[in-house]
Amino acid sequence: MTIKGVLFDFSGTLFRIEPTASWLRAVLAEAGVTLPEPELVRTAERLESAGALAGGALPAGPLPDDLAALWAVRDRSAEAHRAAFTGLSRQVPLPDPELHDALYDRHMTPAAWQPYPDTIEVLGTLRGRGVAVGVVSNIGWDLRPVFREHGADPYVDAYALSYEHGIQKPDTRLFAHACDALGIAPQDTLMVGDEPRADGGAADLGCAVHFVDHRPVTERPDGLRPVLDLIG
């Protein structure tokens, strides 16, 4: 099989969200709110346990009844995504209720994301080999500014974002949108992701699939490079 196009997941594959404590600290600083360090650490731990940071840890326990149904469809619209994650955040008391929306807004900024060390190298190498690149993400906001700010956008030919289509992985239709945008048949396409259930849906369309570990940036310096060997 000749791979003519590669689809990548976003969070945990090409980029990683900042740690929860850094996320909270940045928002508090922007708002001019000061918390004693032990309290800040405890609050960040509670937010992480709640699953309040999109792209971070999943909720550690059962979801509140009023959020369970919303959680299942959170990536199908911008409104559902914001409501789900601010709803989880509101399970944790903060000094000012407006901080919950500020936390959500922060996670959409380029400053909150860091590319993996080999992201630009791998995307650039694929471009040099004439391989088309797409990004397929379950997400509730426009991630293109993150790619532009970090210098990755020039290497991406198409984006298929769940909230723009009202469908989310593992639905094969989202992968099909990406393949159509690249003009490449699924059978000539490789999907690279970190989540077997969601990203593995590409296999049902006929794509080859390769998984990487969702790890902190410092712990995964070259997790994407094996993709280049798969292309040949």
Both 78 and 146 in one domain: the answer is no
Both 147 and 79 in one domain: the answer is no
Residues 1-38: b if buried by 16+ CB within 10 A, e if exposed? eebbbbbbbbbbbbbbbbebbebbbbbbeeeeeebeee
Q: Rounded CA gap, 215 and 178, in Å?
A: 25
pTM for this model (two decimals): 0.96
Both 130 and 223 in one domain: the answer is yes
List, for the chain, all residue ranges whose pLDDT scores fall below the cut of 50: none
> What is the pLDDT, as a whole number, of residue 48?
98
Both 12 and 119 in one domain: the answer is yes
Both 223 and 129 in one domain: the answer is yes
Of the three residues 76, 111, 146, the one that is the final residue of a domain is 111
> What is the pLDDT, as a whole number, of residue 1?
63
Bridge partners of residue 11, in order along the sequence: 15
> CATH number for the domain including 192?
3.40.50.1000
Q: Rounded CA gap, 209 and 189, in Å?
A: 9
Q: Rounded CA gap, 57 and 132, in Å?
A: 31
Both 103 and 200 in one domain: the answer is no
> What is the pLDDT, as a whole number, of residue 225?
97
> What is the pLDDT, as a whole number, of residue 35?
96
Both 118 and 12 in one domain: the answer is yes
Both 209 and 127 in one domain: the answer is yes
> What is the pLDDT, as a whole number, of residue 70?
96
Q: Rounded CA gap, 142 and 163, in Å?
A: 9
Q: Hey, what amino acid is at 131?
A: V
Both 56 and 129 in one domain: the answer is no
Both 122 and 221 in one domain: the answer is yes
> What is the pLDDT, as a whole number, of residue 2?
87
Both 121 and 11 in one domain: the answer is yes
Range of the domain at 48: 17-111
- Tens digits of per-residue pLDDT, 193-222? 999 999 999 999 999 999 999 999 999 999
